[in-house]
Structure 1
């Protein structure tokens, strides 16, 4: 395929960003041909900004029937990601979906099954995987430089958000509109990188979530989670939108030292011998293995969203390996779901999670969500206003 014709569903903040660099022909072999959004203001923006050559649609049925496309980028609200991805794949279209891949693993698992059967290229916008810093971290860990992992810790609290941010949209930070808070909005990249760089998925999770702890919202804005891994290692994940100033520090400890990512740098405290070996052989009482502090050089720059799109196009055209395979989106989401469920039931949650239990608990919260109540009020007012 010489040129991949692309349609975008959802041209809000992220969708419009993708549309601009594609329309500027900044991705080799990609051609933006169509966009779809139910908001007439966004369609007007598309016509004025992207040009008359771009097809515009205000509903997905017309888009799928009449758009001249080979592939779709999905940049809609979270709940629509799995269903629109499935529909696109069933229409024989390649798919690149924004993060998170969905709100709950139950329907994401169905999406993955459809994707595997489809034979199409299914990617996810995990743009942080293009960061050479995290690529080098993963290389060192999976290459065995750190030895067996003992502990992972990520404090990611530099997501500060004011109340006015949450008030800017009625769907924000609601169970019905967004499906979660800091875990589902801000943290999908870190939850993905946590398991991607360490090569570990938790076997069980115990989480404590503050729902509206620092803001007038119904979802979580503060989380402290403890996880255990199959090899006996443990991990802690702390995140919040209420800390100012916040911290972003990721640390992986192993038998041969520790790796730390902070302030855009990767530091390796490297032991000259195995800690377990030293512990077994050392007879001097107080003492510890010799350690070298090494500042790991990082080469290259993160290509971010455009880099993921370029890689996706190369996978379609040449069969290149995906940086962010769509089927891997379920991993970070399952960790997120486990944290929510643990807080809801006030207990440990084993992985793989009980998807039916999570779904039922989520539905309870959706039913009482302020977003649904506001929507109902708005519909009533609109009907009354027409008489």
Structure 2
């Protein structure tokens, strides 16, 4: 019988059920420990998933029965915790971002390269059926050269979202606003589709929540890619609802448009549906928010498969830092009013 991979989850907040549910449904994994500084939360989660509880993540460091640790903590804790866990030989699966700023991420990048343990970053939307199909079309050059893209994120975050979790909305702890917390997934997809970036130009503003947060709630950018493609990007937390992310890619021989996690191809005035939405355990059965994308469970299972097989996970530290570099350059461009 295959030995179970022991797991721990640090942080029992909003995204915790997605990770805990995925681990509990894996035949080859066992959730051993949940950690939260709020002891009540940790104990409730432990009771629900039949494991131990702790208030300090350092309880994991000497546990030989735990090989994989999920980090679901506030942004400013990601890099610090990941460094300690990696140095203790634990594989780490970290919710985005890998650091609350580029400097923290770069320090973590150095740590990973000095340890045998693996770091994976949760950019689950790369596993969406539409995203996989888009990448397949790009790699095959079936529609010719990629000319341009657009990514639009119009979501809602009210004042209660920030006042209920004081680490949010602050540079010191969240590291930014809509860019680093919500729209980072769309930026990740744009760079995954477009490749190496030549320059970023744009601006950030706080249009609605200036009396509540010190970071941005709205951003726009133009992104130039080294292959000649150009992307426009817009994101806001100041909309009235959480609308599905919109992605469009223009090629020489057609246009791909993602709406409601469905992918359409427009050619010669006609539109064709290219994919079917995911079904089964990765769709409505998984707790969480529909506009997050439904592919957390696919990513988590794939990370464990890579760990067990001794293969390098593909959304690693080198991939995880790319979107943070875009965000850092966009903040600089906004401040200096010049491209980077």
TM class by smaller structure: 0.7 to 0.9
Query: For residues 207-226 of structure 1, what are the structure 2 equivalents within 5 Å?
Result: 207-216=202-211, 217-226=213-222
CA contact (8 A) 2:86 2:112 kept: yes
Unaligned segments of structure 2, at least 5 residues: 283-293
CA contact (8 A) 1:214 1:221 kept: yes
Match of 1:61 among 58, 62, 66: 58
TM-score, normalising length: structure 1:
0.77
Aligned to 1:170: 166
Counterparts of 1:235 and 1:19 in 2: how far apart (Å)? Answer: 36
Larger helix fraction of residues: 1
CA contact (8 A) 1:205 1:342 kept: yes
Q: In structure 2, the residue corresponding to 1:123 is in which secondary structure? A: strand
Query: For residues 133-282 of structure 1, what are the structure 2 equivalents within 5 Å?
Result: 133-157=130-154, 159-196=155-192, 198-216=193-211, 217-244=213-240, 246=243, 248-270=245-267
Moved more, 41-50 or 327-336: 41-50
Unaligned segments of structure 1, at least 5 residues: 271-289, 350-387
Change in Cα spacing, 1:145 to 1:345, as seen in structure 2 (3 Å) is same
Question: What's the CA shift for 1:182?
Answer: 0.5
Aligned to 1:43: 42
CA contact (8 A) 2:5 2:29 kept: yes
Counterparts of 1:231 and 1:133 in 2: how far apart (Å)? Answer: 23
Question: What's the CA shift for 1:333?
Answer: 1.4
Q: In structure 2, the residue corresponding to 1:65 is in which secondary structure? A: coil
Match of 2:71 among 58, 71, 74: 74
CA contact (8 A) 1:174 1:180 kept: yes
CA contact (8 A) 2:35 2:53 kept: yes
Greater gyration radius: 1
Question: What's the CA shift for 1:90?
Answer: 1.0
CA offset digits 1:294-329 (Å, max 9, x no partner)? 321337445622222211111111245635334311
Question: What's the CA shift for 1:118?
Answer: 2.4
Counterparts of 1:266 and 1:50 in 2: how far apart (Å)? Answer: 36
TM-score, normalising length: structure 2:
0.87
Counterparts of 1:336 and 1:160 in 2: how far apart (Å)? Answer: 20
CA offset digits 1:240-288 (Å, max 9, x no partner)? 1112355632111122222111233212223xxxxxxxxxxxxxxxxxx
